[in-house]
Structure 1
Amino acid sequence: MTDTTTHAAGPAEHTVFMSRPVLHYTANSTWLNDPNGLVFYQGVYHLFYQNNPFDNVWGNMSWGHATSEDLLHWNEHPVAIACDDREDVFSGSIVVDEGNTTGFGTPENPALVAIYTSAFKEGSGLEGTQAQSLAFSTDAGMTWQKYAGNPVLNRGSAHFRDPKVFRYEDSSASFWVMVAVEAQHQQVVLYRSADLKEWEYLSTFGPANATDGEWECPDLFPLPVDGSPDHVKWVLVVNINPGAVAGGSGGQYFVGHFDGVQFTADSDSLVEDGNTNLRQCLWLDWGRDYYAAVSFSNVPGNRGIMIGWMNNWDYANSLPTSPWRSSMSLAREVELATIGGLPRLVQRPVLPADVGPTIHTIDNQEIRDSTVELPQADPASVLRVDSVQVIDAEILPGTAGTTTLSLFGAPGGDAAMLLSFEAATSQLTLDRRNSGNTAFHEKFASAESAPVTLEDGVLKLRVIVDHGSVEVFAQGGKVVLTDLVFPASGNLRTQLSVEGGMATVRKLTVAAVS
């Protein structure tokens, strides 16, 4: 099988705008879900993921594989770790075994080691259980061999899965740490190992905050607060399905301390037990379509870079795309910043350093109870089949009650994806209820909102509009909303509307990225 570049757009089909995403990774002709084994090695980013090699719906879980040098343009490779008659290969992570602790490689050529969940099938002798197993590669991740001693960690549980492994070091010790979940108990369980083969239990975290669904795909990593190496906090990401703030699947996080044994969440990261208000929890994304997000390992400079599955289990198997089904989010660089006196995640999309060319610009324009076309040129030039639209805006809502960006609008019609800021409630809402094809599943039509605090009276937005999705980064990435959208073919109109008063557009640019 030859490598296939999978971000190229395809033609529109029927009445729905079905072009393949440009910058969001999709498998060429099959199903994908959770990102797995994200690792940077020898100048290349590796994206492994849950993949059905034989169909475009969930099943036959194996690890697909794609690589990129810029996190924007991906090449698909043959299936990396395949299911067999004994096991399905569920989610996990990859480490670079620099010290050759496993003996799978050499000090000169360290192995890449995948730690994944074996979902054992009938007849395997372990049927009905989920346990952790190893596979390794000595050719920079291009071919993989399962370890003969699998599984390496078995709790006898039916829902013990999704190991994220990293190297922990302090002044007195260095060892591997595994962060996994007991999904139906809403618990994160931690283990340690010297060689990735023998594991010792450390501690348990949870249940806490959002607990109405299964906990999945955990991650634990340190980040400096405000870039200060003298002030480092740990971030624990726990994805949940169902029970997220927008409904169905989503990712929550906690900020706290990890001492090599126990993760302890800061009190301000926790909502009072027994009375959890989901809108008081900390969310990676307030939209419907960002799930199973995990970070890359081995990134130079210890940068935090995450990718999520851009979908929701409520309707994932029903998306109206063919032959592929489902995509990844854009990569996001994550940092901890002091917000309201507390350390909180800030996320910024990975895009070309020089976004452009610019199609349209507004500078210091006052708008009162009216609508402005964006851009005023031919709308077809905004979102060609080979480009992505990036909108950057700084808006002072002023006396306006509502300020709205209309995306994927129908020519001369009302159908559109709406991004609105309501001054009275300080809520930013992404509304796809009248955006095109929503009838393929009863739970797809929806409107998601997030609280946004204006800074010096300014609403700052970066909106990435790819074929089939909208990702919104508000206030420099302090608030994020991600939703899928399936507009009718030809619905490319973009407008800015102001209602109930006057708003000032300090700056707004529309650019095309390909």
Structure 2
Amino acid sequence: MIHRPKYHFVPEKNWMNDPNATIYFKGEHHLFYQHNPDDWHWGNLHYGHAVSRDLLHWKHMPVALAPAFDRGETHCYSGCSYINNGQIELLYTSVGAGERCQNSGSQQWAATTEDGISWHQIEENPVMTNDMGPDGALTEWRDPFVFHWKGKTYALVAGIVKEQYSAVHIYETEDYRNWRYVNEFFRNACAKEVIECPNIVVYGDRVLFLYSIWNVRVLHWFVGTISEELKLVAYNEGCVDYGDFFASQISFDNQGRTLMWGWLREDPRRGLLTDGEWAGVQAIPRVISITEDNRFLQERLPEFETIRRTEEKIELKDFTGRKYAQTESVSAEITAAVYSEHVFSVRLLEDEESEEYTDIIFNPREGTYYAPMEESSLLDSVDKRPILGYFPRSGDGAVHIDILLDSSVAEIYINKESCMTLRVYPMKEGKRISIASEKGVERAEVSVYEVEL
């Protein structure tokens, strides 16, 4: 079984989950991430660290931040970064044992560095405590994210209020050391859902607000503004990714772009030991933006084209049946513009006997796409629940598709406005790629690229 991705970022070994504190600094992109350096299962959370100049080729760095066990800390949970006094600082959720557990005793801590390799907790910690907010301490209080609005510095932190509902809270600072609670920035409509990893991007007088829901395949986006009372006023909303893209982080590069990062969850693997003691994948960073009419756009990283190695073009007209690409690979990119009112599908990772394959079925008329997953693996132990997503029609009437296939990963972009990420764990090593339609495709322009770092 080959499940370890070849061009997505994965740790050299052991466990990885949320991207943390992503930042562009002095010509390099820094990726920090939740990491267990001792085991390929969740636990013992440190901050792993890697750097890149092109977002594709990564250099593994030493562990950046370890729990301060002598101060009662057992885990370094998710957080963000910012520049203070010319260096990257970290603001993250600190968790301990007993009264310092994640449910009721988490704190927000800061960490600094002198060499850009190792970060250490400052003596003044904690810089925020969960009793700073509304009446009673917040629970499940975690994942700070720093941003600037109207010349002031704020942080968002998620937390449950009075064990009744989940919300995102806003705090203000002038020096990154002394924070004060302002108010409840956003309240979740579903009280039982636990919010994680809130992010915000400022576009003039408007903002893009993102958050994940713990233990559910949900990552929401909102486009809106911030009121004078520092509350979110939403104009539009939707789903960031219908599959296993989770715990987003944001960074800004030297080209003026906003990059969104995400953990490609290992949950569907259900503890399966595959081709090594590793777990967790980072998505290829996505270029994101908002439109004048408050839509959220996600685009495949343009630099990705530099690792295309071969191209096969397929042109179809008034086509029915199944067309196989000559290119066979588990590391590929498939792009297509399909003009059709009828249902069609793209098939990935099909073996010679057609015992395993992953279909993505598109219905242009209804604006849906669907991954049945039943035939994706012969292994009974992995999660093969179906995934359904929605996409808007494009201006030219085509369904524009871009799929990044990388062993156990398929990142699917549709019309720049919809994404679905699949985690697939086939037992055989199927490499065949095809497109099919029973009722006919009017026209399709397809390219299949072999990809290699």
TM-score (ref. length: structure 2): 0.90
Q: Distance in 1 between matches of 2:191 and 2:288?
A: 24
* Pairing 1:334–2:288 present: yes
SS in 2 for 1:357: strand
Partner of 2:245: 290
Contact 1:428 1:452 in 2 (8 A): no
* Pairing 1:394–2:367 present: no
Contact 2:235 2:294 in 1 (8 A): no
Q: Distance in 2 between matches of 1:210 and 1:461?
A: 32
Partner of 1:456: 396
Cα distance per residue 1:48-92 (max 9 Å; x no partner): 011111111111111111111111121221211112431111110
> 185, 193, 197: which is aligned to 1:205?
185
> 174, 178, 193: which is aligned to 1:194?
174
After TM superposition, list the pairs within 5 Å mapping 1:366-385 onto structure 2: 366-374=317-325, 376=326, 379=328, 382-383=329-330
Whichever residue aligns with residue 250 of structure 2, its letter is S
Whichever residue aligns with residue 233 of structure 1, its letter is R
**For the structure 1 residues 452 and 75, does the alpha-carbon distance in structure 2 shift closer, same or farther, using more than 3 Å as the test?**
same
* Pairing 1:218–2:186 present: no
Whichever residue aligns with residue 512 of structure 1, its letter is E
Contact 2:343 2:364 in 1 (8 A): yes
* Pairing 1:179–2:163 present: no
Contact 1:290 1:312 in 2 (8 A): no
Partner of 1:227: none
Q: Distance in 2 between matches of 1:193 and 1:253?
A: 25
Whichever residue aligns with residue 294 of structure 1, its letter is Q
Q: Distance in 1 between matches of 2:100 and 2:420?
A: 42
Whichever residue aligns with residue 394 of structure 1, its letter is A
Aligned-residue offset at 1:362: 1.9
| Unaligned runs of at least 5 residues, structure 2 | 132-137
Partner of 1:264: 232
| Unaligned runs of at least 5 residues, structure 1 | 1-15, 101-109, 224-230, 243-247, 270-281
SS in 1 for 2:144: strand
Partner of 2:120: 145
**For the structure 1 residues 123 and 362, does the alpha-carbon distance in structure 2 shift closer, same or farther, using more than 3 Å as the test?**
closer
SS in 2 for 1:343: coil
Contact 1:249 1:314 in 2 (8 A): no
SS in 2 for 1:352: helix
SS in 2 for 1:435: coil
After TM superposition, list the pairs within 5 Å mapping 1:59-208 onto structure 2: 59-85=43-69, 86-87=72-73, 88-97=75-84, 100=85, 110-122=86-98, 128-139=104-115, 141-156=116-131, 157-168=138-149, 170=150, 174-183=151-160, 185-208=165-188
**For the structure 1 residues 335 and 432, does the alpha-carbon distance in structure 2 shift closer, same or farther, using more than 3 Å as the test?**
same
After TM superposition, list the pairs within 5 Å mapping 1:312-461 onto structure 2: 313=267, 317-318=271-272, 320-338=274-292, 342-350=293-301, 351-354=303-306, 356-363=308-315, 365-374=316-325, 376=326, 379=328, 382-383=329-330, 388-398=331-341, 401-441=342-382, 443-461=383-401
Partner of 1:468: 408
SS in 2 for 1:429: strand
Q: Distance in 2 between matches of 1:26 and 1:358?
A: 24
Contact 2:68 2:121 in 1 (8 A): no
SS in 2 for 1:415: coil
**For the structure 1 residues 55 and 312, does the alpha-carbon distance in structure 2 shift closer, same or farther, using more than 3 Å as the test?**
closer
Whichever residue aligns with residue 308 of structure 1, its letter is G
Contact 2:320 2:441 in 1 (8 A): yes
Q: Distance in 2 between matches of 1:357 and 1:466?
A: 14
**For the structure 1 residues 410 and 45, does the alpha-carbon distance in structure 2 shift closer, same or farther, using more than 3 Å as the test?**
same
Q: Distance in 1 between matches of 2:236 and 2:89?
A: 36
Whichever residue aligns with residue 390 of structure 1, its letter is E
Cα distance per residue 1:22-69 (max 9 Å; x no partner): 221111111011111111111011110111111111111111111111
Q: Distance in 2 between matches of 1:69 and 1:81?
A: 22
> 419, 428, 440: which is aligned to 1:480?
419
Contact 2:110 2:125 in 1 (8 A): yes
Aligned-residue offset at 1:423: 4.0
Aligned residues: 439
Whichever residue aligns with residue 2 of structure 2, its letter is F
Q: Distance in 2 between matches of 1:474 and 1:126?
A: 37
Aligned-residue offset at 1:426: 2.5
% same residue: 23
Aligned-residue offset at 1:321: 4.9
The CA RMSD measured in Å over matched residues stands at: 2.4
**For the structure 1 residues 21 and 138, does the alpha-carbon distance in structure 2 shift closer, same or farther, using more than 3 Å as the test?**
same
Q: Distance in 2 between matches of 1:67 and 1:167?
A: 25
Q: Distance in 1 between matches of 2:44 and 2:174?
A: 32
> 254, 258, 265: which is aligned to 1:304?
258
Partner of 1:31: 15
Contact 2:147 2:154 in 1 (8 A): yes
Cα distance per residue 1:458-489 (max 9 Å; x no partner): 111111101111011111x2111111111233
> 420, 431, 437: which is aligned to 1:492?
431
- Greater share of strand residues, 1 or 2? 2
